[in-house]
Structure 1
Amino acid sequence: MVTVGVLGLQGAVREHIQSIEACGVEGKIIKRVEELETVDGLIIPGGESTTMRRLMDTYQFIEPIKAFAAQGKPVFGTCAGLIMLANHIEDREDAHLGLLNVSVARNSFGRQVDSFEADLEVKGLNAPFTGVFIRAPHITSADPSVEVLAEYDGRIVMAKENNILGCSFHPELTDDHRLTEMFVKMVKTSKTKLSV
């Protein structure tokens, strides 16, 4: 049985758990570092990236999540989670986790009041996916090793590199579980490889 964790420090944690369970696998809220050992993949949800970093520092999550990803276990960052994954953040000296070889700009699509939904063509999906954008970042540049999965208005809003997946929007705030399913497939593949 595959178990997918959701970092439970801040953000739309419950909605991610519901989406994971809708994909037929177990979801688990992760609030302590040692709980990382009990899951096969990890979602870092949206929220406020500065607050999330402070909480990750307080609960000493930075190095353990890097080690988790270094084992080949998949990590999926949504909205602020994408900012946490990026190895460069515009207007900031240092990155957070630095697991995805991209540069990101924060709040690219305006403030909370400018939130919107848009239909996105996502590589690997046979029909558009509705992205919910709330104070969303976007990827300003990506290394050649990074596969761009979706763009909106000429901006990269979803990308994948090996076992790391990131998107600018909130897939958990819709009833469409295809992106969670995409991540669950990554987790299942990785678990099979790691158990060999």
Structure 2
Amino acid sequence: GTCAGAILLAQEISEGRHEGQPHLGLMDITVRRNAFGRQLDSFEAPVAVSGIPGLPLNAVFIRAPVIERVGPAVVVLGRLADGRIVAAQQGRLLATVFHPELTGDDRMHRFFLAL
């Protein structure tokens, strides 16, 4: 799941969840919606992702959530320089809080397809 998809996959949504808002709850993670601010606070940052060789990905964050907690079966794949979790995997499920589809780099998609 990408961005809002990560929210849908999360077992817990710590802030910003509306009563009755559907989510799948398939990954043992907690996410916080709009963790980086509003649309004007959108940004790009390099993110090294475990399992993806080469230079860090240029990650695009648009009103992005953040992964605040991961369970024991979840592998953290990527963090920002300040340590915040931005990519995680649980089995064949993948959550990113950034938008890999908005760049010309297809490595994140290839990683997902290889799961």
- TM-score w.r.t. the length of structure 1 is 0.54
Pick the aligned partner of 2:59 from 126, 131, 135. Answer: 131
State the Cα distance separating 1:85 from its structure 2 match.
0.4
Query: Where do residues 117-196 of structure 1 align in structure 2 (5 Å cutoff)?
Result: 117-126=44-53, 127-152=55-80, 153-186=82-115
- Are residue 110 (structure 1) and residue 34 (structure 2) matched? no
Matched residues in 2 for 1:130 and 1:124: separation? Answer: 16
Q: After superposition, where does 1:1-196 map in structure 2 within 5 Å?
A: 77-91=1-15, 92=17, 96-126=23-53, 127-152=55-80, 153-186=82-115
**What one-letter code is carried by the residue in structure 1 that aligns with 2:8?**
M
Letter of the structure 1 residue corresponding to residue 114 of structure 2: K
Percentage identity across aligned positions?
52
Which runs of 5 or more structure 2 residues have no equivalent in the other structure? Answer: none
Tell me the C-alpha RMSD between the 2 structures: 1.2
Query: Which structure has the highest strand share of the two?
Result: 2
Where 2:114 maps in the other structure, the secondary structure is helix
Structure with more contact order per residue of length (Cα contacts < 8 Å, sep ≥ 6): 2
State how far apart, in whole Å, the 2-side matches of 1:184 and 1:90 are.
29
Structure 1 distance, partners of 2:46, 2:83, is 14
1:2-28, Cα deviation, whole Å (9 max, x unpaired): xxxxxxxxxxxxxxxxxxxxxxxxxxx
| Residue identity opposite 1:87 in structure 2 | Q
Structure 1: stretches of 5+ with no match in the other structure:
1-76, 187-196
Name which one, 1 or 2, has greater alpha-carbon Rg: 1
Is contact 2:41-2:63 (8 Å) kept? Answer: yes
State the distance in 2 between where 1:155 and 1:78 align. Answer: 16
TM (norm. structure 2) is: 0.91
Q: Contact conserved, 2:52 with 2:111, CA < 8 A, in 1?
A: no
SS in 2 for 1:130: strand
Greater shift, 118-127 or 94-103, is seen at: 94-103
- Larger helix percent: 1
Between the two proteins, the alignment pairs up a number of residues equal to: 110
Distance 1:121 1:115 in 2: 19
